[in-house]
Structure 1
Amino acid sequence: MQELSGKVAIVTGGAQGLGEAICRTLAAADVVTIVSDIREELAEKVAAEISAEGGKAIALKLDVTDENQILSAVEKVISQHGHLDILINNAGTDLTVSIEEMGIQDWDRILAVNLRAPFILSKAVISHMKERKSGHIVNIASTASKRAWANASAYHASKWGLLGFSHALHVEARPHKVKVTAVIAGGMQTPFILDRFPDTPLENLQDPKNVAETIRFILTQPAETVIPEVMVVPMNETSYP
Protein backbone atom coordinates (compact mmCIF):
# COMPACT_ATOMS: atom_id res chain seq x y z
CA MET A 1 0.00 0.00 0.00
CA GLN A 2 1.20 3.53 -0.73
CA GLU A 3 2.03 5.89 2.09
CA LEU A 4 0.07 9.16 2.05
CA SER A 5 2.35 11.00 4.47
CA GLY A 6 3.72 14.21 3.00
CA LYS A 7 1.43 14.26 -0.01
CA VAL A 8 -0.49 17.41 -0.88
CA ALA A 9 -4.22 17.34 -1.64
CA ILE A 10 -6.78 19.90 -2.77
CA VAL A 11 -10.33 19.11 -1.66
CA THR A 12 -13.06 21.27 -3.20
CA GLY A 13 -16.16 21.89 -1.13
CA GLY A 14 -14.02 20.97 1.85
CA ALA A 15 -15.75 23.09 4.49
CA GLN A 16 -18.64 20.78 5.37
CA GLY A 17 -20.34 17.47 4.67
CA LEU A 18 -18.37 14.87 2.73
CA GLY A 19 -15.68 17.41 1.84
CA GLU A 20 -14.99 18.11 5.50
CA ALA A 21 -14.89 14.38 6.27
CA ILE A 22 -12.39 13.87 3.44
CA CYS A 23 -10.21 16.71 4.71
CA ARG A 24 -10.16 15.32 8.24
CA THR A 25 -9.47 11.77 7.04
CA LEU A 26 -6.61 12.81 4.77
CA ALA A 27 -5.08 15.08 7.39
CA ALA A 28 -5.18 12.18 9.87
CA ALA A 29 -3.09 10.25 7.31
CA ASP A 30 -0.49 13.07 7.39
CA VAL A 31 -1.57 14.57 4.06
CA VAL A 32 -1.12 18.33 3.67
CA THR A 33 -4.77 19.12 3.05
CA ILE A 34 -5.96 22.25 1.23
CA VAL A 35 -9.49 22.90 2.49
CA SER A 36 -10.93 24.81 -0.45
CA ASP A 37 -14.41 26.26 -0.37
CA ILE A 38 -16.29 29.35 -1.49
CA ARG A 39 -17.23 29.86 2.19
CA GLU A 40 -13.89 31.08 3.47
CA GLU A 41 -14.88 31.34 7.13
CA LEU A 42 -16.05 27.71 7.23
CA ALA A 43 -12.89 26.54 5.45
CA GLU A 44 -10.76 28.41 7.98
CA LYS A 45 -12.70 26.83 10.85
CA VAL A 46 -12.15 23.30 9.53
CA ALA A 47 -8.47 23.97 8.81
CA ALA A 48 -7.96 25.44 12.28
CA GLU A 49 -9.60 22.45 13.96
CA ILE A 50 -7.48 20.01 11.95
CA SER A 51 -4.33 21.96 12.82
CA ALA A 52 -5.28 22.00 16.51
CA GLU A 53 -5.51 18.21 16.37
CA GLY A 54 -2.00 17.95 14.93
CA GLY A 55 -2.86 17.70 11.24
CA LYS A 56 -1.66 19.87 8.39
CA ALA A 57 -4.45 21.87 6.79
CA ILE A 58 -4.68 25.17 4.96
CA ALA A 59 -7.88 27.04 4.14
CA LEU A 60 -8.27 28.32 0.59
CA LYS A 61 -11.16 30.43 -0.62
CA LEU A 62 -12.14 29.07 -4.00
CA ASP A 63 -15.10 29.67 -6.28
CA VAL A 64 -14.94 26.64 -8.56
CA THR A 65 -17.01 28.41 -11.21
CA ASP A 66 -14.18 30.96 -11.69
CA GLU A 67 -11.47 29.48 -13.92
CA ASN A 68 -9.02 32.25 -13.06
CA GLN A 69 -9.36 31.48 -9.37
CA ILE A 70 -8.80 27.80 -10.09
CA LEU A 71 -5.64 28.38 -12.12
CA SER A 72 -4.31 30.80 -9.51
CA ALA A 73 -5.07 28.40 -6.66
CA VAL A 74 -3.38 25.42 -8.32
CA GLU A 75 -0.33 27.51 -9.20
CA LYS A 76 -0.16 28.82 -5.62
CA VAL A 77 -0.36 25.35 -4.06
CA ILE A 78 2.33 23.91 -6.34
CA SER A 79 4.56 26.95 -5.77
CA GLN A 80 4.24 26.77 -1.99
CA HIS A 81 4.58 23.01 -1.60
CA GLY A 82 6.58 22.00 -4.64
CA HIS A 83 4.07 19.39 -5.74
CA LEU A 84 0.39 18.49 -5.86
CA ASP A 85 -0.43 14.82 -5.50
CA ILE A 86 -4.19 14.57 -5.03
CA LEU A 87 -7.21 16.44 -6.36
CA ILE A 88 -10.63 15.65 -4.91
CA ASN A 89 -13.40 17.15 -7.04
CA ASN A 90 -16.08 17.16 -4.36
CA ALA A 91 -17.87 20.52 -4.60
CA GLY A 92 -21.48 20.07 -5.69
CA THR A 93 -24.85 21.77 -5.77
CA ASP A 94 -28.45 21.02 -6.75
CA LEU A 95 -31.90 22.56 -7.07
CA THR A 96 -34.95 20.37 -6.52
CA VAL A 97 -37.49 21.73 -8.99
CA SER A 98 -39.23 20.54 -12.13
CA ILE A 99 -37.80 21.37 -15.53
CA GLU A 100 -40.57 23.96 -16.00
CA GLU A 101 -39.49 25.74 -12.81
CA MET A 102 -35.75 25.54 -13.40
CA GLY A 103 -34.27 28.72 -14.80
CA ILE A 104 -31.57 28.56 -17.42
CA GLN A 105 -29.20 30.35 -15.05
CA ASP A 106 -29.85 27.67 -12.43
CA TRP A 107 -29.11 24.94 -14.97
CA ASP A 108 -25.88 26.68 -15.98
CA ARG A 109 -24.83 27.15 -12.34
CA ILE A 110 -25.38 23.50 -11.40
CA LEU A 111 -23.45 22.22 -14.39
CA ALA A 112 -20.74 24.81 -13.78
CA VAL A 113 -20.14 23.55 -10.23
CA ASN A 114 -20.73 19.84 -10.74
CA LEU A 115 -19.20 19.23 -14.18
CA ARG A 116 -17.37 22.22 -15.64
CA ALA A 117 -15.33 22.79 -12.47
CA PRO A 118 -13.94 19.22 -12.30
CA PHE A 119 -12.91 19.58 -15.95
CA ILE A 120 -11.09 22.88 -15.33
CA LEU A 121 -9.47 21.67 -12.11
CA SER A 122 -8.35 18.42 -13.73
CA LYS A 123 -7.03 20.32 -16.74
CA ALA A 124 -5.12 22.62 -14.38
CA VAL A 125 -3.35 19.78 -12.53
CA ILE A 126 -2.92 17.05 -15.15
CA SER A 127 0.26 18.38 -16.80
CA HIS A 128 1.97 18.68 -13.42
CA MET A 129 0.95 15.13 -12.50
CA LYS A 130 2.00 13.72 -15.89
CA GLU A 131 5.39 15.40 -15.58
CA ARG A 132 5.89 13.78 -12.17
CA LYS A 133 4.43 10.45 -13.40
CA SER A 134 2.24 10.27 -10.32
CA GLY A 135 -0.94 11.79 -8.94
CA HIS A 136 -4.55 10.91 -8.30
CA ILE A 137 -7.75 12.69 -9.28
CA VAL A 138 -10.92 11.61 -7.47
CA ASN A 139 -14.29 12.72 -8.81
CA ILE A 140 -17.22 12.52 -6.38
CA ALA A 141 -20.18 11.29 -8.37
CA SER A 142 -23.46 10.04 -6.96
CA THR A 143 -26.02 7.32 -7.44
CA ALA A 144 -27.64 10.10 -9.49
CA SER A 145 -25.10 9.12 -12.16
CA LYS A 146 -26.64 5.66 -12.41
CA ARG A 147 -30.37 6.33 -12.46
CA ALA A 148 -32.83 9.24 -12.34
CA TRP A 149 -35.64 10.60 -10.22
CA ALA A 150 -37.98 13.54 -10.68
CA ASN A 151 -37.10 17.20 -10.16
CA ALA A 152 -33.33 16.79 -10.49
CA SER A 153 -32.68 17.10 -14.23
CA ALA A 154 -29.61 19.35 -13.96
CA TYR A 155 -28.13 17.32 -11.11
CA HIS A 156 -28.54 14.07 -13.04
CA ALA A 157 -27.12 15.59 -16.21
CA SER A 158 -24.09 16.86 -14.32
CA LYS A 159 -23.41 13.63 -12.44
CA TRP A 160 -23.91 11.36 -15.44
CA GLY A 161 -21.55 13.71 -17.26
CA LEU A 162 -19.03 13.65 -14.41
CA LEU A 163 -18.97 9.85 -14.41
CA GLY A 164 -18.35 9.79 -18.16
CA PHE A 165 -15.69 12.47 -17.87
CA SER A 166 -13.98 10.57 -15.07
CA HIS A 167 -13.70 7.38 -17.10
CA ALA A 168 -12.50 9.30 -20.16
CA LEU A 169 -9.83 11.04 -18.09
CA HIS A 170 -8.82 7.68 -16.60
CA VAL A 171 -8.12 6.42 -20.14
CA GLU A 172 -6.06 9.51 -21.00
CA ALA A 173 -4.11 9.70 -17.74
CA ARG A 174 -3.39 6.03 -17.14
CA PRO A 175 -0.46 5.73 -19.63
CA HIS A 176 1.22 8.61 -17.77
CA LYS A 177 0.97 6.85 -14.37
CA VAL A 178 -1.75 9.26 -13.19
CA LYS A 179 -4.79 7.67 -11.55
CA VAL A 180 -8.41 8.78 -11.87
CA THR A 181 -11.27 7.39 -9.78
CA ALA A 182 -15.00 8.06 -9.74
CA VAL A 183 -16.54 7.57 -6.31
CA ILE A 184 -20.28 6.98 -6.55
CA ALA A 185 -21.60 7.90 -3.12
CA GLY A 186 -25.07 7.00 -1.89
CA GLY A 187 -27.07 9.10 0.57
CA MET A 188 -25.06 10.60 3.42
CA GLN A 189 -25.83 12.36 6.69
CA THR A 190 -24.72 15.75 5.35
CA PRO A 191 -26.29 19.21 4.96
CA PHE A 192 -26.58 18.53 1.21
CA ILE A 193 -29.45 16.15 1.97
CA LEU A 194 -30.62 17.06 5.45
CA ASP A 195 -30.92 20.82 4.88
CA ARG A 196 -33.22 20.18 1.91
CA PHE A 197 -34.95 17.03 3.09
CA PRO A 198 -34.94 17.24 6.91
CA ASP A 199 -37.44 14.39 7.28
CA THR A 200 -35.09 11.86 5.69
CA PRO A 201 -34.63 8.99 8.18
CA LEU A 202 -31.02 9.01 9.37
CA GLU A 203 -30.92 5.23 9.26
CA ASN A 204 -31.30 5.45 5.47
CA LEU A 205 -28.15 7.54 5.21
CA GLN A 206 -24.48 6.76 5.81
CA ASP A 207 -21.88 8.65 7.79
CA PRO A 208 -19.75 10.65 5.32
CA LYS A 209 -16.70 9.40 7.24
CA ASN A 210 -17.33 5.98 5.70
CA VAL A 211 -17.06 7.39 2.19
CA ALA A 212 -13.98 9.39 3.19
CA GLU A 213 -12.33 6.22 4.48
CA THR A 214 -13.07 4.53 1.16
CA ILE A 215 -11.33 7.40 -0.62
CA ARG A 216 -8.31 7.03 1.67
CA PHE A 217 -8.20 3.32 0.81
CA ILE A 218 -8.34 4.10 -2.93
CA LEU A 219 -5.47 6.56 -2.58
CA THR A 220 -3.27 4.00 -0.82
CA GLN A 221 -3.43 1.37 -3.57
CA PRO A 222 -0.03 0.22 -4.89
CA ALA A 223 1.43 2.20 -7.77
CA GLU A 224 0.60 -0.57 -10.26
CA THR A 225 -3.10 -0.62 -9.32
CA VAL A 226 -5.90 1.85 -10.01
CA ILE A 227 -9.60 1.69 -9.10
CA PRO A 228 -11.49 3.57 -11.85
CA GLU A 229 -14.89 3.40 -10.15
CA VAL A 230 -16.31 2.44 -6.77
CA MET A 231 -19.80 2.70 -5.28
CA VAL A 232 -20.38 3.27 -1.57
CA VAL A 233 -24.00 3.15 -0.42
CA PRO A 234 -25.69 2.87 2.98
CA MET A 235 -27.12 -0.53 3.90
CA ASN A 236 -30.62 0.98 3.85
CA GLU A 237 -30.11 2.89 0.58
CA THR A 238 -33.56 3.56 -0.89
CA SER A 239 -32.67 5.19 -4.21
CA TYR A 240 -30.13 2.79 -5.76
CA PRO A 241 -29.73 -0.02 -6.43
Structure 2
Amino acid sequence: MMNLKDKVCIVTGAGKGIGRCIALTMAEKGAVPVIVDIDEKNAAGVAAEINAMGIPSMAVKTDVSKVQEITDMVEAVGQKYGRIDVLVNNAGIIDKAPFDQLTEQEWDRVMNVNLKSAFFTSQQVLKYMTKQKSGKIINIASLAGRTGGFSVGCAYSASKAAMIGLTKSLARKVAGYNINVNTVAPGPTESDIGLTEEDYEALKKNILLGRVGKQENIADVVAFLAGDGAAFMTGATIDVNGGMFIG
Protein backbone atom coordinates (compact mmCIF):
# COMPACT_ATOMS: atom_id res chain seq x y z
CA MET A 1 0.00 0.00 0.00
CA MET A 2 1.57 3.27 -1.11
CA ASN A 3 -0.75 5.72 0.62
CA LEU A 4 2.15 6.86 2.83
CA LYS A 5 4.25 7.90 -0.14
CA ASP A 6 6.06 11.19 0.56
CA LYS A 7 4.20 11.71 3.85
CA VAL A 8 6.40 13.59 6.31
CA CYS A 9 6.34 11.57 9.52
CA ILE A 10 7.90 12.59 12.84
CA VAL A 11 8.69 9.65 15.14
CA THR A 12 9.90 10.52 18.64
CA GLY A 13 12.19 8.14 20.46
CA ALA A 14 13.13 6.67 17.09
CA GLY A 15 16.82 6.12 17.78
CA LYS A 16 16.29 2.53 18.88
CA GLY A 17 13.74 -0.12 19.77
CA ILE A 18 10.13 0.15 18.72
CA GLY A 19 10.59 3.74 17.55
CA ARG A 20 13.36 2.72 15.16
CA CYS A 21 11.20 -0.13 13.84
CA ILE A 22 8.27 2.26 13.32
CA ALA A 23 10.48 4.69 11.38
CA LEU A 24 11.89 1.93 9.16
CA THR A 25 8.42 0.51 8.50
CA MET A 26 7.10 3.92 7.55
CA ALA A 27 10.03 4.37 5.17
CA GLU A 28 9.34 0.99 3.57
CA LYS A 29 5.83 2.22 2.86
CA GLY A 30 7.11 5.37 1.18
CA ALA A 31 6.95 7.90 4.02
CA VAL A 32 9.68 10.42 4.79
CA PRO A 33 10.57 9.75 8.44
CA VAL A 34 12.06 12.34 10.78
CA ILE A 35 14.09 10.61 13.47
CA VAL A 36 13.75 12.40 16.81
CA ASP A 37 15.79 11.17 19.75
CA ILE A 38 17.80 12.50 22.67
CA ASP A 39 20.72 10.31 21.52
CA GLU A 40 22.16 12.12 18.51
CA LYS A 41 24.33 9.20 17.40
CA ASN A 42 21.45 6.72 17.43
CA ALA A 43 19.16 9.13 15.60
CA ALA A 44 21.75 9.76 12.90
CA GLY A 45 22.30 6.03 12.52
CA VAL A 46 18.62 5.33 11.88
CA ALA A 47 18.39 8.24 9.42
CA ALA A 48 21.41 6.80 7.60
CA GLU A 49 19.70 3.39 7.39
CA ILE A 50 16.67 5.03 5.80
CA ASN A 51 18.77 7.13 3.43
CA ALA A 52 20.46 3.91 2.29
CA MET A 53 16.99 2.67 1.27
CA GLY A 54 16.74 5.61 -1.10
CA ILE A 55 14.30 7.43 1.18
CA PRO A 56 15.16 10.93 2.44
CA SER A 57 15.30 11.23 6.21
CA MET A 58 16.59 13.68 8.78
CA ALA A 59 17.65 13.23 12.39
CA VAL A 60 16.93 15.86 15.03
CA LYS A 61 18.47 15.57 18.48
CA THR A 62 15.71 16.53 20.90
CA ASP A 63 15.04 16.18 24.60
CA VAL A 64 11.26 15.81 24.36
CA SER A 65 10.84 16.60 28.06
CA LYS A 66 11.75 20.23 27.22
CA VAL A 67 9.13 22.28 25.42
CA GLN A 68 11.62 24.65 23.79
CA GLU A 69 13.50 21.75 22.22
CA ILE A 70 10.22 20.32 20.93
CA THR A 71 9.33 23.71 19.43
CA ASP A 72 12.73 24.03 17.77
CA MET A 73 12.51 20.50 16.36
CA VAL A 74 9.06 20.99 14.84
CA GLU A 75 10.09 24.33 13.34
CA ALA A 76 13.15 22.69 11.76
CA VAL A 77 10.98 19.98 10.22
CA GLY A 78 8.42 22.50 9.00
CA GLN A 79 11.07 24.69 7.42
CA LYS A 80 12.66 21.74 5.63
CA TYR A 81 9.54 20.05 4.31
CA GLY A 82 6.80 22.69 4.49
CA ARG A 83 4.30 20.24 5.97
CA ILE A 84 3.92 17.53 8.63
CA ASP A 85 1.57 14.67 7.85
CA VAL A 86 2.08 12.15 10.65
CA LEU A 87 3.27 12.35 14.24
CA VAL A 88 4.09 9.24 16.25
CA ASN A 89 4.51 10.06 19.94
CA ASN A 90 6.64 7.06 20.83
CA ALA A 91 9.30 8.45 23.20
CA GLY A 92 9.05 6.88 26.61
CA ILE A 93 10.88 5.63 29.67
CA ILE A 94 9.91 2.99 32.19
CA ASP A 95 9.89 2.94 35.97
CA LYS A 96 9.80 -0.13 38.17
CA ALA A 97 10.07 1.47 41.60
CA PRO A 98 7.85 0.07 44.35
CA PHE A 99 5.04 2.54 45.05
CA ASP A 100 6.41 3.37 48.50
CA GLN A 101 9.86 4.16 47.09
CA LEU A 102 8.87 6.26 44.08
CA THR A 103 10.38 9.72 44.43
CA GLU A 104 8.96 13.02 43.24
CA GLN A 105 11.94 13.41 40.91
CA GLU A 106 11.36 10.04 39.25
CA TRP A 107 7.60 10.65 38.99
CA ASP A 108 8.23 13.96 37.24
CA ARG A 109 10.85 12.44 34.94
CA VAL A 110 8.49 9.70 33.75
CA MET A 111 5.58 12.10 33.28
CA ASN A 112 7.71 14.63 31.43
CA VAL A 113 9.06 12.11 28.92
CA ASN A 114 6.00 9.91 28.52
CA LEU A 115 3.10 12.36 28.72
CA LYS A 116 4.13 16.00 28.68
CA SER A 117 6.20 15.39 25.55
CA ALA A 118 3.25 13.88 23.70
CA PHE A 119 1.00 16.83 24.41
CA PHE A 120 3.47 19.57 23.54
CA THR A 121 4.79 17.80 20.45
CA SER A 122 1.19 17.38 19.29
CA GLN A 123 0.48 21.04 20.08
CA GLN A 124 3.34 22.21 17.88
CA VAL A 125 2.66 19.75 15.05
CA LEU A 126 -1.03 20.69 15.02
CA LYS A 127 -0.07 24.19 13.92
CA TYR A 128 0.81 22.59 10.58
CA MET A 129 -1.92 19.96 10.47
CA THR A 130 -4.77 22.38 11.16
CA LYS A 131 -3.58 24.61 8.31
CA GLN A 132 -3.31 21.61 6.01
CA LYS A 133 -6.67 20.31 7.22
CA SER A 134 -5.18 16.84 7.37
CA GLY A 135 -2.94 14.76 9.58
CA LYS A 136 -2.53 11.68 11.73
CA ILE A 137 -1.33 11.60 15.33
CA ILE A 138 -0.55 8.20 16.80
CA ASN A 139 0.25 7.90 20.49
CA ILE A 140 2.09 4.88 21.84
CA ALA A 141 0.57 3.94 25.18
CA SER A 142 0.89 0.53 26.84
CA LEU A 143 -1.00 -2.42 28.22
CA ALA A 144 0.01 -0.96 31.59
CA GLY A 145 -2.26 1.98 30.89
CA ARG A 146 -5.19 -0.42 30.50
CA THR A 147 -4.48 -2.74 33.44
CA GLY A 148 -2.29 -0.87 35.93
CA GLY A 149 0.78 -2.83 34.89
CA PHE A 150 2.36 -6.13 35.90
CA SER A 151 6.13 -5.55 35.88
CA VAL A 152 6.20 -1.75 35.90
CA GLY A 153 5.74 1.03 38.42
CA CYS A 154 2.88 3.39 39.18
CA ALA A 155 4.34 6.38 37.31
CA TYR A 156 4.69 4.44 34.06
CA SER A 157 1.18 2.96 34.29
CA ALA A 158 -0.33 6.33 35.14
CA SER A 159 1.47 8.08 32.28
CA LYS A 160 0.26 5.53 29.76
CA ALA A 161 -3.33 5.64 31.02
CA ALA A 162 -3.16 9.41 30.67
CA MET A 163 -1.88 8.99 27.12
CA ILE A 164 -5.11 7.20 26.25
CA GLY A 165 -7.12 10.04 27.79
CA LEU A 166 -5.04 12.60 25.90
CA THR A 167 -5.79 10.77 22.66
CA LYS A 168 -9.53 10.97 23.25
CA SER A 169 -9.39 14.64 24.17
CA LEU A 170 -7.26 15.65 21.18
CA ALA A 171 -9.42 13.56 18.85
CA ARG A 172 -12.47 15.58 19.88
CA LYS A 173 -10.66 18.89 19.50
CA VAL A 174 -9.22 18.37 16.00
CA ALA A 175 -11.69 16.13 14.17
CA GLY A 176 -13.12 19.18 12.39
CA TYR A 177 -9.75 19.69 10.73
CA ASN A 178 -9.74 16.18 9.22
CA ILE A 179 -7.10 15.05 11.72
CA ASN A 180 -7.19 11.57 13.24
CA VAL A 181 -5.75 10.87 16.68
CA ASN A 182 -5.42 7.28 17.85
CA THR A 183 -3.49 5.17 20.34
CA VAL A 184 -1.60 1.90 20.05
CA ALA A 185 -1.28 0.08 23.38
CA PRO A 186 1.41 -2.60 23.11
CA GLY A 187 1.64 -5.50 25.49
CA PRO A 188 5.00 -7.11 26.30
CA THR A 189 7.19 -6.55 23.26
CA GLU A 190 10.79 -7.41 22.47
CA SER A 191 12.56 -4.11 23.10
CA ASP A 192 15.19 -2.44 25.22
CA ILE A 193 12.84 -0.39 27.38
CA GLY A 194 13.94 -2.04 30.63
CA LEU A 195 12.28 -5.43 31.14
CA THR A 196 14.50 -8.40 31.98
CA GLU A 197 14.34 -11.91 30.55
CA GLU A 198 12.76 -12.99 33.84
CA ASP A 199 10.10 -10.30 33.40
CA TYR A 200 9.29 -11.57 29.92
CA GLU A 201 9.06 -15.20 31.04
CA ALA A 202 6.65 -14.29 33.81
CA LEU A 203 4.53 -12.19 31.47
CA LYS A 204 4.30 -14.92 28.81
CA LYS A 205 2.31 -17.09 31.20
CA ASN A 206 -0.58 -14.63 30.91
CA ILE A 207 -0.45 -14.09 27.13
CA LEU A 208 -3.01 -16.17 25.24
CA LEU A 209 -0.73 -16.52 22.22
CA GLY A 210 2.10 -17.71 24.47
CA ARG A 211 4.77 -15.27 23.32
CA VAL A 212 5.79 -11.66 23.59
CA GLY A 213 5.27 -9.39 20.61
CA LYS A 214 7.81 -8.37 18.02
CA GLN A 215 8.57 -4.74 17.30
CA GLU A 216 7.20 -5.21 13.79
CA ASN A 217 3.80 -6.13 15.25
CA ILE A 218 3.57 -2.65 16.73
CA ALA A 219 5.06 -0.87 13.73
CA ASP A 220 2.61 -2.45 11.31
CA VAL A 221 -0.38 -1.22 13.32
CA VAL A 222 1.11 2.28 13.51
CA ALA A 223 1.60 2.28 9.74
CA PHE A 224 -2.02 1.22 9.27
CA LEU A 225 -3.24 4.09 11.45
CA ALA A 226 -1.08 6.50 9.48
CA GLY A 227 -2.64 5.43 6.20
CA ASP A 228 -5.91 5.95 4.38
CA GLY A 229 -7.30 2.64 5.60
CA ALA A 230 -7.79 4.17 9.05
CA ALA A 231 -9.44 7.35 7.76
CA PHE A 232 -12.66 6.67 9.73
CA MET A 233 -10.88 5.89 13.01
CA THR A 234 -10.23 8.52 15.66
CA GLY A 235 -10.09 8.51 19.45
CA ALA A 236 -9.52 4.75 19.37
CA THR A 237 -7.09 2.59 21.30
CA ILE A 238 -5.81 -0.51 19.53
CA ASP A 239 -4.53 -3.22 21.88
CA VAL A 240 -1.61 -5.25 20.51
CA ASN A 241 -0.89 -7.68 23.32
CA GLY A 242 -1.41 -11.27 22.18
CA GLY A 243 -4.60 -11.58 24.19
CA MET A 244 -3.07 -10.64 27.54
CA PHE A 245 -5.83 -8.05 27.91
CA ILE A 246 -9.19 -8.27 26.18
CA GLY A 247 -11.30 -5.21 26.84
TM-score, normalization: structure 2? 0.90
Query: Which whole-Å deviations, capped at 9, do the CAs of 1:7-64 have from their partners, x for residues lacking one?
Result: 1011000011110110000111121111110011111111111211222221110100
Q: Distance in 1 between matches of 2:237 and 2:99?
A: 30
Which residue identity is paired with 2:21? A
Q: Distance in 2 between matches of 1:130 and 1:137?
A: 12
- 1:11-26 correspondence runs (5 A): 11-26=11-26
SS state at 1:136 partner? strand
How far apart are residue 223 of structure 1 and its match? 8.0
Q: Distance in 2 between matches of 1:234 and 1:54?
A: 33
1:168 aligns with 2:181: no
Contact 1:2 1:221 in 2 (8 A): no
Task: Give % identity.
Answer: 32
Contact 1:2 1:223 in 2 (8 A): no
Q: Which residue of 2 aligns with 1:78?
A: 78
1:221 aligns with 2:220: no
Contact 1:145 1:160 in 2 (8 A): yes
Q: Which residue of 2 aligns with 1:100?
A: 100
Q: Distance in 2 between matches of 1:211 and 1:223?
A: 15
Q: Distance in 2 between matches of 1:66 and 1:39?
A: 15
Q: Which residue of 1 aligns with 2:48?
A: 48
- Of 198, 211, 216, which aligns to 1:209? 216
How far apart are residue 169 of structure 1 and its match? 0.3
SS state at 1:88 partner? strand
Q: Distance in 2 between matches of 1:165 and 1:11?
A: 18
Which residue identity is paired with 2:212? L
Structure 2 CA distance for partners of 1:57 and 1:224, relative to 1, 3 Å: closer
SS state at 1:142 partner? coil
Q: Which residue of 1 aligns with 2:207?
A: none
Structure 2 CA distance for partners of 1:134 and 1:2, relative to 1, 3 Å: farther
How far apart are residue 222 of structure 1 and its match? 5.0
- 1:101-180 correspondence runs (5 A): 101-149=101-149, 152-180=153-181
What 5-or-longer segments of structure 2 have no aligned partner? 205-209
Which residue identity is paired with 1:40? E
What 5-or-longer segments of structure 1 have no aligned partner? none
Structure 2 CA distance for partners of 1:223 and 1:132, relative to 1, 3 Å: farther
- Of 233, 237, 240, which aligns to 2:240? 233
Q: Distance in 2 between matches of 1:39 and 1:224?
A: 33
Q: Distance in 1 between matches of 2:239 and 2:28?
A: 21
Contact 1:35 1:43 in 2 (8 A): yes
Contact 1:2 1:219 in 2 (8 A): no
SS state at 2:59 partner? strand
How far apart are residue 128 of structure 1 and its match? 1.6
Query: Which whole-Å deviations, capped at 9, do the CAs of 1:48-81 have from their partners, x for residues lacking one?
Result: 1121122222111010011111001101100111
Contact 1:15 1:36 in 2 (8 A): yes
SS state at 1:181 partner? strand
1:196 aligns with 2:190: no
How far apart are residue 2 of structure 1 and its match? 7.3
Q: Distance in 2 between matches of 1:223 and 1:144?
A: 24
TM-score, normalization: structure 1? 0.92
Structure 2 CA distance for partners of 1:223 and 1:187, relative to 1, 3 Å: closer
SS state at 2:197 partner? coil
SS state at 1:121 partner? helix
Per mean C-alpha deviation after superposition, the further-off stretch among 2-11 and 201-210 is 201-210
**Number of equivalences:** 237
Contact 1:9 1:88 in 2 (8 A): yes
